[in-house]
Amino acid sequence: MKILRLLLILGLIHQVYAQDVSGDAQKGKQDYYDFGCYGCHGYSAKYRVPLVGDTSGVMSSESVFLTYLRLRSEQNPINPANRMPNYGESSLSDEQALDIYAYIKSIDDDPPELDGVAVMTDMLDAAKARGDGIEK
């Protein structure tokens, strides 16, 4: 609970002192895959535990993101309710963490309209024809 309060406070501070992204999104993309982030956050950081857009307070600033990663390692190493791996500085450098942050921030959170995706339209039509109760 203390971590959540700290993240909330850091998020509020960030609103006053906004900062730019300093990491390298291209390097971060590779680190995102190398460190297995996609396992929980999906290949586009939008699934299971979403990070893209305004869905996670952890992504409100670089400092909150880095603080969360470090607190997970230093103050919350064993917590069965949270499956997030512990990323201490010895396993994930600040530079790598900020690169991952930059990559996640660079992901476009503007999915296409489903009507424009032919395969999705075909799937919805097939489900509707079977009587699955799906409306277009």
pLDDT digits (tens, 9 = 90+) for 61-85: 999 898 888 876 665 555 556 667 7
In a domain, 136, yes or no: no
Q: Which of 109, 108, 97 is nearest to 61 (CA)?
A: 97
Domain of 7? Answer: 2-130
In a domain, 135, yes or no: no
> Count of domains in the chain?
1
Alpha helices (H) along 1-136: 2-16, 25-34, 38-41, 62-74, 94-106, 118-130
For residue range 14-71, list pLDDT tens digits in order. 544 445 789 999 999 999 999 999 888 888 888 877 888 777 888 889 998 988 888 7
CB burial readout 93-111, b (16+ within 10 A) else e? eeebbbbbbbbbbebeeee
